[in-house]
């Protein structure tokens, strides 16, 4: 089950479409979904989590808490819509494109992908692009 929660005025326009897309991506990665909670928030909300749980006093676009066991995906994904909007401007892409990239980025972490090294980040970006293209043809 995928749920969408809001700690800001922002609302996804196509929750069911995004939920179906994320589910298909997880299945294509040979995992099963138990529960993912997306929480859309602002910079201040996410900064508090970043400081409290990760000891990072910096702004970020996403924090994911992974409770997965083996191939059974479960977790909470917090997304700052303010940071996504700023990143979309910085990368010269549409807001929804950047938002969907972040949405799938968290799931890819749950599926075992990392992005700490340059090579890992390259693989992660390729996977993000692949699944973004899957959503576009949906």
**Where residue 39 sits, what CATH number does that domain have?**
3.40.390.30
| Positions at the binding site | 105, 109, 115
pLDDT surpasses 80 at 19 = yes
Look at residue 76 in the predicted model and tell me its pLDDT: 97
What lies within 8 Å, CB to CB, of 45 at 6+ separation is 7, 8, 78, 80
Look at residue 54 in the predicted model and tell me its pLDDT: 84
pLDDT surpasses 90 at 128 = yes
72-80: strand order across its sheet: 2-6, 32-41, 72-80, 62-66
pLDDT surpasses 80 at 136 = no
| Reported pTM | 0.93
Is residue 2 within 8 A of residue 23, CB to CB? The reply is yes
Helix axes 15-28, 95-110, angle to 10 degrees: 40
For the chain, what is the domain count?
1
Give CA–CA dist 49/66, Å, rounded: 14
Look at residue 58 in the predicted model and tell me its pLDDT: 86
- Cβ-count burial of 90 within 10 angstroms (0-12 exposed, 13-18 middle, 19+ buried)? exposed
| Positions at the binding site for Zn(2+) | 105, 109, 115
Which residues span the domain enclosing 8? 2-136
Give CA–CA dist 101/131, Å, rounded: 9
Helix axes 118-136, 15-28, angle to 10 degrees: 130
Element (H, E) at 113: none
Taking only the tens place, the pLDDT of each residue in 31-70 is: 999 999 999 999 999 999 989 888 888 889 999 999 999 9
Q: Which two tokens stand for residue 16?
A: 């069911």
Taking only the tens place, the pLDDT of each residue in 63-101 is: 999 999 999 999 999 999 999 999 999 999 999 999 999
């Amino acid at each position: 089950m995928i749920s969408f929660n809001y700690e800001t005025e922002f609302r996804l326009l196509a929750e069911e479409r995004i939920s179906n897309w994320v589910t298909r991506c997880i299945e294509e990665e040979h995992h099963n979904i138990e529960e993912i909670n997306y929480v859309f928030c602002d910079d201040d909300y996410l900064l508090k989590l970043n400081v409290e749980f990760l000891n990072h006093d910096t702004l970020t676009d996403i924090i994911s808490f992974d409770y997965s066991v083996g191939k059974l995906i479960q977790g909470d994904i917090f997304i700052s819509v303010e940071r996504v909007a700023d990143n979309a401007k910085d990368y010269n892409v549409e807001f929804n494109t950047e938002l969907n990239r972040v949405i799938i980025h968290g799931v890819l972490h749950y599926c075992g992908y990392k992005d700490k090294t340059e090579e890992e980040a390259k693989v992660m970006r390729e996977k993000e692009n692949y699944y973004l293209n899957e959503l576009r043809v949906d």
